[in-house]
Amino acid sequence: MQIKRTSEHGFAHVALVLAILLTAGAVLSFKEIPKVKELSRTLLGKIDPGNVLSLATGRLYYVDCQKGNDSNSGNSEGSPWKTFSKVNGVALTAGDAVYIKRDGICTDTVNGVLNITSSGNSTDQILISSYGVGSYPKIVKTVSGDAINVSGAYILISNIHVTADLSTVTKDSACQNGPIGTMSGIRLDKNSHDVTVRNIIASKLYAGVYIAGDLTTGPVSSRNKILNSVFIDNKMMNSQSSAGAMGVLVWGDDNEIAYNEFSGNDACSRLYTRDGSAVEIYGGKRNNIHHNRAYNNETFSELGHVRTDSNKFGYNLVVSKLPYSKGFVTRGGGDSYGPVPNSTFYNNTVYLTGSTSQAFVCAGDCNTTTSPVFTIKNNIFSGAQKSAYFGGTSFVESNNIFNKTPEPTSYSINGSSKVTDPQFATIEDAYASVLDFHLKSTSPAVNAGTSDNGGYTTDLDGSGVPVSTTDIGAFEYGATGAPAGPSFSFGSVGDHGYGSAGSGVFTKASQSGLDLFLSLGDLSYQLPSGKNEYTWCNEYVKPSWGSKPFSIIAGGHENGVDNAGNGVIDYFVDDTCLPDRVNGVQSPNLGTGGSPTGTDNIGKEFYFDYPAENPTTRFILVDPKMNFLYGGLYTFSVGNERYNWLSDRIDEARVLGRKWIIVANHENYISSGIKSDEIGSDYFNLVMKKRPDLLLQGHDHNYQRGKQLYLNSSCPSISASTSTAGNSACIVSGSLGGDGPNYSKGLGTVLVINGSGGVGHYTLSSSSDVHYNYFAARNDTAFGFSKFTVTPSGITSSYVDKATTSPFTDTFSISVSGSTVTPPPPPEADTTAPSTPTNLTAAVVSSTQINLTWSASTDNVGVTGYEVYRNGVKAGTVTSTSYNSTGLTASTAYNYYVRAFDAASNFSSASTTVSATTQSAPDTSAPTPPANLTGTVVSQSQINLTWTPSSDNVGVTGYDVYRNNTKVGTVTSASYTNTGLTAGTTYTFFIKAFDAAGNVSGASNTVSATTFAAPDTTAPTAPANLIATVISSTQINLTWSASTDDVGVTAYEVYRDNVKVATITTTGYGDATRSPATTYYYYVKARDAAGNLSTASATVAATTLPQVTTIASVHGTVFSSSNTPIYLGKITVIKDGVSKSKKTYYTDSKGAFSIPNLTTGTYKVTYSAKQHVSQSESVVITSTTTDITKNIILQRR
């Protein structure tokens, strides 16, 4: 039926609440201001009515993972902690809050894991959120486990981003190199309950949120809410690469998962080929999954495990273009993971176009003799291969639309259902590709539903659902698209430079009330001497713009290739320059990728949704055909990965309900200025086919606002030809507003070129330019920026000139109309208590545990849980019909009873009381430590151990053997043979004894032993470069290069004429007392300590000089420095360095000496005397020398 709708959840009421809060601000202390901010963010978000975040009333704690310090107090923004261990050490109480600094990164290896073990209460939760400005804090997993682990109750977690660092994760080379590991973002432990997770982002994980439980004996996490969050690209599988890639994994009961977005949760699986899901339910009961949007997930929801029961799905939109997607998968008794009874599906829209996709599947035998496996009503199931596969007849089906006949074909659909085209508002043809799953007025789904729609009162848009004329699918006909959301403004321009004009533009922008700035590239141009990217950021942008969100798409002046010295985009977007301060930025890292600053494709190819909470707008920034220093050429052609990525991001934005889509790049395709095509037809015409609202570009240094362009049968593509006039058929009709300035949303795309950010202008062409007719407003003299104001109902743009005198102006708008409905009345109060639990039994498990089970109670609305009482005192609360009572005393009797309660806190009367006595205490006495441990070395690889046996009150069962503090074996006797050891290695051993009860003794004494060294059998290398030098008629000197050895060379053997004549340790040898004029042959061998001898060196020959007989003498006098002759002064003479030639002479009473009979050669003569400093000199005797006279003076000491 045709309906009208009011603003989302009554924004007039929100405004009133905020006004009251602000009025009350006078009585709030300064530290309570973050509480008011948090409340306002939540109220203005897509909230679930009746669950508005309450103000924190207790203590506030702050964590800054980058700049905090654990020695700080942690109780103010100015004194934050650094690690979560400080938070974990605080006993949080109801009303306390923990705030994590935005724009920060917290890793488990540096900052630890956040463990919330405390509990709030039903009126005062414990808050875990963020503070400051910028993007949500990223809590990053690098090893298996959970980023946040919650075991308490009444907790609210909001405004954070949980993710994984995939560079640290093992990759499965056999499964597309996908990441493997069980990393979860937020784990709600089996003991947790009443936890709200709201406004988070979860990406790259095994599971974004894991609601855990013990499916055998309980408990399971329950009554939690997962709301308004984004689960994107969770692609991690378990260690077997069989299962994973889940947005939310549910093992618990009575949880609500609503108003979330799921995209890209899909990965390679060794077991199933592909696996992944938006919401996977494994053993959970009575969970309510409703009003979610999903795009390109492997499966939206898969249900399995025999415990699973009574889960409900309503008003979900599930869209996928993956080849293999499935919408819903449930199971009958013939499946090993079934049966899964009583699943209900109301008003879901499933649209899957992949070749093997199936919209609804019941695997196994879906017949049952008890309750129906599933109920499906008011759904649209459209699957390319199968609309539905039922596998049985034990189910309820009515008022559904199938795009093709369900299988098996033997099943006849209910008379209220149809096999037909649902007639969505989607436009999908050769000229347009615009996804829209609202209904056309002619759709067979309009007014064709049953009022039995699971009790939901609003459709996916938040529009009221009429009781008597309900439509089929997730949207009521007449709903206007995405819910209302906040308004914001952003500025956009490119081509800034480093001059006063560009600085003036930034100053003007900072004064214009903008929330976000979008730079269209060409930033600093030629950097001045001594300046770099960081100085441009810090001196040129930040003084005026500050720390508000600032996003960039690179131009050719910072790609690092085309214009050297202009800077590199990777450094401009580094977090010390212009960081990502926009929440949820996603970068695809296509192609070669790579960045020296770890920024991946930020600044080159990325997207983000804005604002952070309840986003209305998707910005997609790309750089087609740009060549980057880091990343290479960004090719863009029909069907390649970048083309498909852009197409998917636009489709995804529409499925997720973004009201506005804005695409931006730096360079141009058509222009009435000097620039021509630099981005390619494939890119530009894809944008035209997808019809985003705006296409923003810079590059041409002027301002050009285009008319609204679109493709159609008369304009199948837009040409960039500079010789052919623009095709007027490509412009939306003027009667429909295509000429502007007031455009209508959805008819086409408005191109805005603004390169007037500060660099000198390019002159615009005259009206004769072939592309002139594509543009409605132009200017080539003003410096300024485009200011866009975005509201749920429209975009308005105005050119803001930095000049104050005769400024240029241009204003245009893109508008959409809306409709309203009356909000549904509140539900009536529930005052009926559940029935009394029956058949309570107690089973004794051990000396410390008794397990209870009982039959379920019933309630007019639904049983929420059970309180268990032990000896008259409440011992626990559970949502299942079993309870494990642990921590009891041995041999003690206990009395138990149970009572049920519902969501309205109505309590049943108590069940009958049962008694049970715990078993006697077990053996807790450990054996005595083993004594007298000894280690005996047997060989190079074996050490034998023996010890004196231990004793025990019952009996020793065995011994654990530890080597170097690691257990290496277990034996039952008091000896152990340790083999396979390394030669020459010292090992340390100790022993522990254990008994049958698992009690372990203390360690024995420790012994150390060293295995025998391995024998050395490797010979040194042969000496090389042997040289023989003839010194005289009697001496030949040898030198050679050192040999090498695995252990070490210890000596060399010298051979003369094949006879060993010497063993030395140096690499030289003097062979004296040879015969004159005689030829000698030499070689050398090296030897090591083990006696291994090398092969011989090369052999060399040398011939001594002939004998020349010359008789000469040296005589003279030795005086003291006091000029008195020295008596008995000592003179030593050594010829040619041969020590064996040494002779000694003495002075007479007059200090005279004579050294006779000297033959040719070089003599070292040393003069010495008592109490004098000795003195040496060299004396050379040649064939012509006769007598030499010396007068020597020795210095006294």
Contact at 8 Å (CB) between 707 and 664? Answer: no
Query: Does 826 score more than 60 pLDDT?
Result: no
Contact at 8 Å (CB) between 287 and 250? Answer: yes
Residue 682 vs residue 468, higher pLDDT = 682
Strands 1007-1010 and 775-779: unpaired
DSSP letters, 229-274, are -EEE----B-TTSSSB-EEEEE-SBS-EEES-EEE---EEETTTEE
Residue 55 vs residue 222, higher pLDDT = 222
Mean per-residue pLDDT, 1108-1125? 85
Please report which confidence band the pLDDT of residue 769 belongs to, taking 50, 70 and 90 as the band edges: confident
Query: Does 229 score more than 50 pLDDT?
Result: yes
The token duo for 738 is: 């295509």
- Dist CA 159 CA 1175 (whole Å): 90
**In whole angstroms, how far apart are CA 952 and each of 922, 923, 956, 990, 1146?**
14, 10, 6, 19, 90
Tokens 């980057």 -> residue: 628
Task: Decide which of 3.30.420.40, 2.60.40.10, 1.20.140.10, 3.30.365.10 is the CATH code for 1024-1103.
Answer: 2.60.40.10
Helix (H, G, I), strand (E, B) or coil at 346: strand
Contact at 8 Å (CB) between 283 and 305? Answer: yes
Mean per-residue pLDDT, 342-365? 93
What CATH number belongs to 488-815? 3.60.21.10
Which residue from 808, 826, 829, 883 is spatially nearest to 853, judged by alpha carbons? 883
pLDDT of amino acid 155: 97
Which residue from 861, 1007, 854 is spatially nearest to 930, judged by alpha carbons? 1007
Q: Which of 50-64, 1004-1018, 1159-1173 has the lowest mean pLDDT?
A: 50-64
Please report which confidence band the pLDDT of residue 19 belongs to, taking 50, 70 and 90 as the band edges: very low
Return the ∠ at Cα 559 (arms to 558 and 560), rounded to 5°. 90
pLDDT of amino acid 39: 36
Please report which confidence band the pLDDT of residue 480 belongs to, taking 50, 70 and 90 as the band edges: low
Please report which confidence band the pLDDT of residue 82 belongs to, taking 50, 70 and 90 as the band edges: very high
What DSSP character marks residue 601? T
Please report which confidence band the pLDDT of residue 273 belongs to, taking 50, 70 and 90 as the band edges: confident
pLDDT of amino acid 84: 96
Query: Does 908 score more than 50 pLDDT?
Result: yes
**Cβ contacts of 606-611, under 8 Å, gap ≥ 24:** 607/649, 608/551, 608/582, 608/583, 608/584, 609/230, 609/584, 609/653, 609/656, 609/658, 610/488, 610/490, 610/516, 610/582, 610/583, 611/485, 611/486, 611/488, 611/515, 611/583
pLDDT tens string 924-951: 899 999 999 999 999 999 999 999 999 9
Mean per-residue pLDDT, 575-598? 72
Q: In 893-1016, at which residue ranges do the beta strands (DSSP E only) sit?
A: 893-902, 914-917, 931-937, 943-948, 956-963, 966-971, 975-978, 986-995, 1007-1010
Q: Which helix (DSSP H) or strand (DSSP E) does residue 1163 occupy?
A: strand 1161-1168
Residue 583 vs residue 441, higher pLDDT = 441
The token duo for 173 is: 């080379």
pLDDT of amino acid 817: 58
Question: Would you kindly state where each structural domain of the chain is located, as residue ranges?
Answer: 488-815, 838-917, 931-1008, 1024-1103, 1112-1194
What DSSP character marks residue 568? B
Most confident of 276-290, 361-375, 386-400: 276-290
Query: Does 572 score more than 70 pLDDT?
Result: yes
Mean per-residue pLDDT, 151-173? 93
Mean per-residue pLDDT, 728-756? 94
Query: Does 598 score more than 80 pLDDT?
Result: no
Tokens 């570009």 -> residue: 697
- Dist CA 626 CA 443 (whole Å): 45
pLDDT of amino acid 373: 86
**In whole angstroms, how far apart are CA 166 and each of 339, 397, 1073, 1178?**
36, 44, 77, 76
Query: Does 262 score more than 90 pLDDT?
Result: yes
Q: Residue 1053 forms beta bridges with which residues?
A: 1063, 1085
Query: Does 435 score more than 80 pLDDT?
Result: yes
- Dist CA 427 CA 434 (whole Å): 5
Q: Which of 664-668, 742-746, 874-878 has the lowest mean pLDDT?
A: 874-878
The token duo for 229 is: 């969050």
Contacts of 628 (CB under 8 A, 6+ apart): 554, 559, 560, 561, 569, 604, 634
pLDDT more than 90, % of the chain: 65
Please report which confidence band the pLDDT of residue 395 belongs to, taking 50, 70 and 90 as the band edges: confident
What DSSP character marks residue 832? P
Q: Is the dihedral of CA 756, 759, 760, 764 positive or negative?
A: negative
pLDDT of amino acid 253: 97
Q: Which of 152-166, 224-238, 343-357, 1096-1110 has the lowest mean pLDDT?
A: 1096-1110
Residue 28 vs residue 633, higher pLDDT = 633
pLDDT of amino acid 1122: 86
pLDDT of amino acid 533: 87
The token duo for 537 is: 């950021």
Please report which confidence band the pLDDT of residue 677 belongs to, taking 50, 70 and 90 as the band edges: very high
3-state secondary structure 763-806: CCCCCCCCCHHHEEEEECCCCEEEEEEEECCEEEEEEEECCCCC
The end-to-end CA distance of the chain, in Å, is: 125
Mean per-residue pLDDT, 570-598? 74
Which residue from 85, 77, 125 is spatially nearest to 104, judged by alpha carbons? 77
Helix, strand and coil percent figures for the chain, each rounded to 5: 10, 35, 55
pLDDT tens string 840-853: 999 999 889 999 99
Angle between helices 641-655 and 681-690 (to 10 degrees): 10
Q: What are the phi and psi torsion angles at 1020 (to 5°)?
A: -65, 165
Please report which confidence band the pLDDT of residue 370 belongs to, taking 50, 70 and 90 as the band edges: low
Task: Decide which of 1.20.1600.10, 3.40.50.450, 2.60.40.10, 1.10.645.10 is the CATH code for 931-1008.
Answer: 2.60.40.10
Mean per-residue pLDDT, 862-880? 89
Contact at 8 Å (CB) between 979 and 963? Answer: no
Most confident of 409-418, 608-617, 955-964: 955-964
Contact at 8 Å (CB) between 397 and 417? Answer: yes
Q: How many CB atoms lie within 10 A of CB 953?
A: 12
pLDDT of amino acid 591: 57
pLDDT of amino acid 1175: 93
Please, what CATH class does the domain formed by 1112-1194 belong to?
A: mainly beta
pLDDT of amino acid 20: 29
Query: Does 287 score more than 70 pLDDT?
Result: yes
What CATH number belongs to 838-917? 2.60.40.10
pLDDT of amino acid 589: 67
Query: Does 1112 score more than 90 pLDDT?
Result: no
DSSP letters, 413-461, are PPTT-EES---BS-EESSS-EE---SBPTT-TTTT-S-S-STT--B-TT
3-state secondary structure 1086-1148: EEECCCCECCCCCCEEEECCCCCCCCEEEEEEEEECCCCECCCCEEEEEECCCHHHCEEEECC
- Dist CA 326 CA 361 (whole Å): 8
Mean per-residue pLDDT, 965-972? 94
Across the chain, mean pLDDT equals 88
Query: Does 861 score more than 80 pLDDT?
Result: no
Contacts of 75 (CB under 8 A, 6+ apart): 59, 60, 61, 62
Please report which confidence band the pLDDT of residue 483 belongs to, taking 50, 70 and 90 as the band edges: low
- Dist CA 180 CA 168 (whole Å): 10
Q: Which of 406-410, 512-516, 751-755, 879-883 has the lowest mean pLDDT?
A: 406-410
- Dist CA 1095 CA 1097 (whole Å): 7
Half-sphere exposure of 1049 (CA within 13 A, CB side): 22
Contact at 8 Å (CB) between 1040 and 1027? Answer: yes
Please report which confidence band the pLDDT of residue 507 belongs to, taking 50, 70 and 90 as the band edges: very high
